[in-house]
Structure formats: structure tokens, C-alpha cells
Amino acid sequence: MRQTPITSNDLMVTAMPAALVRLIDAYRALGFARILWVAPLWLIQREFLVLIRDPRVPLPVVHLVDHLQWTSLNDAGIPYLCAINPTLSIAEIRRRRTEGCECLLGWVDGSLAHYRWYTTATTFLPYLGKTFSLVEGDMFTLEVYTHPTFRGHGIASVSSEIIVTQARHRGLRRCITMVAWWNTPGLRVNKRQAGWTVVGRVGYWDIGIHRRYYATGDISIAGRNVTLHTGIPIDSSRPLP
């Protein structure tokens, strides 16, 4: 696949402070009125919804996006990954790969449009400051990102079904992901279009120098670990379709 060279505009975006990039990205997703309400609250309270999906159930029909190609991340793709999301550092990419995380890349006409990080191993989540514990049979999506130019075309739904299909072929029993409570587009993709179910919430209050963590539903926190207790049972007696 021929990849479009990284442009000066990409480099200019990469040079922006990470906090500014996140704010601009949230503004694009939420609009001016809602960001005025969400941003101050997000500074003191970070909350994520935990969603699950059984990869063994029938998959919904996904309408493929024209000119969309999928690859796995290799060394050549790292500069493109950093260019579309400057908040993702090379050090963080290396750490994830060392932990065994995989990354699915979606390209449109040679330009990187989308990526999805996922893993079957217990992994640390910098945005939560905790480690999400997995058991045998789990696949966890730790980050999904679509370049603003390519949003609204169903790319995230397609990538969701790709990794769910991978989980099914590997004989896994439970797909897990987390979405920020304010991320309406992300929740819409997961709950309405891709069949995910919310099973709990996890987050923290950031007050001064202290963080006060909390969890609800099927989620618990013990020390540095976040655990999903129930949700879809890991039942080896249930045959794969």
C-alpha cells in the first residue's frame, strides 16, 4: 500500500501542546456550548464507562467504507500514528508494544485515518493511572482514534467489528473497552451500532494533590488494579458458533 507522505500541516499539529490538542479534539466532538460545561468538570473528575461485548454472538452488518485499507502497526507506521494524534508519544507507543498491545491502522487513499489499540494482556492505562486486569479469554480495547477529517463515515464501527471478529476466531469470550462519559459519538458507535453494553463506571476525583478513585457496577478497584468481575461469563462449556 502506498502511504501519503507526512505534510508540514501534520508536523505543525504535532508541535502543539498535548493539552491544546485534546481541547481542540473535544471541541470538534462536542461543539462550543457543551465543551464549556464538560471541560471544567473534566479537570476535576475523570470518569469512563466500561463496556463489554460477547464476540460469539452474531455480528451486525457493517457497511464498508470506500477506499479503506487495514494494516497492523509496524515501525514504518509510527510517524503516521504520532502525526494524526500528537498526544500519543513514541515512548508510549514503545511501552504498549512491549506489553504486547496490538494496533490496527485504517488507511484511506494512503492517509492514516484511524487506529485502534487492543490487547489480551493486563495493561496499564496512563489516562486512568491504573492497570486493567484481564483474565484468559478477554480482549481489551485501550484506545480508539479517528482523524477529524474522516469522522462520521463509520470507520470506528468497522474497526470494532474487525477486532471482535479477531477475538471470535481466537476463541476469546469477552471484548472490553472504556469510553469517557462525555464522548457521545464514541458511545453511539459502541452501544447503538456495534452492540456493546455498559457494565459499570470507573474514574477519579482530582482534588489538589490527591486522587479519589471510585468504581460502580461490575467494576472494582484494588490498589493499582481495575477488575471487571462479571459481565459476560467466561464459560468454556458454551461452544463457538
pLDDT in tens, 14-37: 444 555 555 566 656 666 677 777
- Decide if 236 is inside a domain: no
pLDDT for residue 63: 63
* Cell numbers that stand for 128 in this block: 486512568
pLDDT of 11 over the 60 cut: no
Model confidence, pTM: 0.82
Which region among 39-43, 99-103, 141-145 has the lowest average model confidence (pLDDT)?
Answer: 39-43
Query: What is the mean predicted confidence (pLDDT) over 58-65?
Result: 66
What is the CATH number for 216?
3.40.630.30
- Decide if 235 is inside a domain: no
Instruction: State how far the Cα of 60 lies from the Cα of 53, in Å rounded to an integer.
Output: 12
Do the bridges between strand 225-228 and strand 123-125 make them parallel or antiparallel, or are there none, so unpaired?
unpaired
- Decide if 209 is inside a domain: yes
Condensed to tens digits (0 to 9), the pLDDT of residues 160-169 reads 889 999 999 9
Of the candidates 199, 229, 196, 227, the residue with the CA atom closest to the CA atom of residue 213: 227
- Decide if 211 is inside a domain: yes
Q: Are the beta carbons of 140 and 176 closer than 8 angstroms?
A: yes
Q: Are the beta carbons of 42 and 188 closer than 8 angstroms?
A: no
pLDDT for residue 23: 59
- Decide if 233 is inside a domain: no
Amino acid at 22: R
- Give 226 or 241, the one with higher predicted confidence: 226
Share of the chain above pLDDT 70, in %: 76
- Decide if 192 is inside a domain: yes
How many distinct structural domains can be found in the chain?
A: 1
pLDDT for residue 24: 61
pLDDT for residue 48: 96
Q: Are the beta carbons of 185 and 29 closer than 8 angstroms?
A: yes
- Decide if 100 is inside a domain: yes
**Sheet strands side by side (includes 210-215):** 68-72, 102-108, 111-119, 138-146, 174-180, 45-53, 197-207, 210-215
- Decide if 14 is inside a domain: yes
Show the domain range for 199.
8-228
Rg of the chain over all Cα atoms, to the nearest angstrom? 18
CA angle (175, 235, 168) in 5-degree steps: 40
